[in-house]
């Protein structure tokens, strides 16, 4: 049998993000799904699986593209303080809710 590698992603509960679990060797799509089920949910630990042929994944791993050598701090939101504005907005919302208790 010619085997290919399939990457398996699993979701623990409905709504959770799909997280990479590992991979399986299999000769085709059908057995890949069987093996993913047995290796990553035979004890009922997954809510959903994604089984993806490794060669269907487009990889981007070039550090020049992902982490360019120039300073990026101006793209981060660190300089913008919203804490006080957020608290004020929450208080305003609470006050409005108090005025109209029956909605």
| 3 belongs to the binding site for another protein (CB under 8 A) | yes
With respect to another protein, which residue has the nearer C-beta, 3 or 16?
3
Could you give the CA distance from residue 46 to residue 50 in angstroms, rounded to a whole number? Answer: 11
Q: In terms of residues, how long is the chain? A: 103
Could you give the CA distance from residue 85 to residue 33 in angstroms, rounded to a whole number? Answer: 50
Q: Which stretch binds another protein (CB under 8 A): 20-28, 52-60, 67-75, 84-92?
A: 20-28
Could you give the CA distance from residue 53 to residue 56 in angstroms, rounded to a whole number? Answer: 5
With respect to another protein, which residue has the nearer C-beta, 34 or 85?
34
Query: How many residues form the binding site for another protein (CB under 8 A)?
Result: 14
Whether 51 contacts 33, CB under 8 Å:
yes
- Contacts with another protein by CB under 8 A lie at 1, 3, 24-27, 30-31, 34-35, 37-39, 42
């Amino acid at each position: 049998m010619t085997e290919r590698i399939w990457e398996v992603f699993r979701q623990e509960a409905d709504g959770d993000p799909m997280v990479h679990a590992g991979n399986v060797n299999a000769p085709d799509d059908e057995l890949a799904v069987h093996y993913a089920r047995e290796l990553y949910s035979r004890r009922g630990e997954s809510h959903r699986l994604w089984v993806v042929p490794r060669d269907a994944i487009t990889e981007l791993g070039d550090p020049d593209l992902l982490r360019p050598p120039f300073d990026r701090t101006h793209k981060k939101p660190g300089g913008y303080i919203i804490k006080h504005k957020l608290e004020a907005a929450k208080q305003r919302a609470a006050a409005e809710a108090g005025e109209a208790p029956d909605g």
